[in-house]
Amino acid sequence: MTTVAPAQHQHLHQRNQFVELALALVAARGVDDLLAAAPTALATALGNERRYRVIEARDDEDTSAGWPVPLVRDGRRVGTLLVEGESLPDAALLSPVCDLLAAALAARRQVADEQARALKEAAELKFDTVAMLSHEMRTPLASIKGYATALLLPDAAWDDATRTEFLEAIDAESDRLTALIEDILESAAIEAGVVRLELEPVLLPRLAARVIERISIQSSRHRFLVTFPPEFPAVVADAQRIEQVLTNLLDNAVKYSPGGGLVVVRGDVCPGEVVVRVVDQGIGIAPEDVNKLFERFFRVARSRSEGVGGTGLGLPISDAIVRAHGGRIWAESVVGSGTTLAFTLPHPRAGEHV
Ligand code: ADP
């Protein structure tokens, strides 16, 4: 007959309790489940004569009902294991459980902190966005209001030329406001994933010439050049949306080269795709900003401070449109010399005969 010495028996009993406890806790799915299961697991494994409560560290925590065992993680108390009973269980059993509970509480707190931070950042971004959009809308509205009020002044006798000038300004500022609202809607639609492409064969040289014709009216300081090789193929694309991309890029080329200069739209045929580049001789973009251009609402600080109107939505919208076609868009720039914004559109047979 095998006899077990009392000390050995105690050791075996403890080991069984520990295994039972570990199994109960390991079965928990996730941190919350583990924290909820811990009191029962402890009572089942260590005997029903005591009750256990896991209390998260709070200012108002009440631990007067039992033995408070601090739950410490990385030197910080994250909670308390409250043991209600005559005495505490063996420290050798309790201590690994406390470590586990402390780790679980710390993990839960970290997730909660991160969620709170993300919510705060989202709220700040929303506020910044609304503030920026309100500012952008207020500027043309203030002009419209100013000219309209001037025209309505009962005592003012405006001559025809001045009246026309004021009405033209109202007309231009209204267009600006409409474009801004369209950009905001478009951006929201892209974000919500409700943009559908209407594909058809598109002749990019013709489309580029049309956009240039429209944009060149806005600036007498710029010269425009469209250059496409004769074998440039038709691409299958949504003509209206690609026109929007070219309009955004050409608008920017003009806006960000206040001193004027040459603006070139160049097409190239490469294996499997076509590349369109819009090249300007403007202010350029610093290397640290180039990769941020396609983030929503990003504007280079200098563009803001120099009062050039914009929302920081044109390039993200263009990026989404180009990507929806299976293409890429990128910028290359040298501060003070100019910027090239380029995009590709796939063309399965492009470049075959080049
Ligand atoms: P915005 O409405 O401000 O022009 P975009 O999304 O079109 O918005 O462009 C984002 C920012 O990128 C602009 O505010 C400007 O700082 C910079 N940018 C875009 N195109 C050019 C360019 N051709 N030359 C210099 N900076 C540019």
Question: What confidence tens digit (pLDDT) does each residue in 172-230 have?
Answer: 999 889 988 888 888 888 878 777 889 999 999 999 999 999 999 888 899 999 999 99
Total number of residues shown for the chain = 354
Cα–Cα dist 329/242, whole Å: 12
Range with the lowest mean pLDDT among 40-54, 151-165, 224-238, 283-297? 40-54
Angle at 68 between CA 62 and CA 71, to 5 degrees: 105
Positive or negative, the Cα torsion across 167, 168, 174, 177?
negative
Cα–Cα dist 133/127, whole Å: 10
Comparing C-alpha atoms, which of 245, 246, 247, 240 is closest to residue 196? 240
Cα–Cα dist 69/79, whole Å: 9
Positive or negative, the Cα torsion across 311, 316, 322, 325?
negative
Most confident of 18-22, 64-68, 107-111, 274-278: 274-278
Tens-digit pLDDT profile for residues 135-151: 888 888 999 999 999 99
Query: Is residue 279 lining ligand 1, measured as CB closer than 6 Å?
Result: no
Looking at the CA of residue 312, tell me the nearest atom of ligand 1.
8
Tens-digit pLDDT profile for residues 67-95: 999 999 999 999 999 999 888 888 877 88
* Cα 290 to middle of ligand 1, angstroms: 10
Query: Is residue 339 lining ligand 1, measured as CB closer than 6 Å?
Result: yes
Instruction: Give the pTM.
Output: 0.62
3-state secondary structure at position 203:
coil
Looking at the CA of residue 313, tell me the nearest atom of ligand 1.
6
Domains and CATH numbers, the chain: 6-116 (3.30.450.40), 129-191 (1.10.287.130), 200-346 (3.30.565.10)
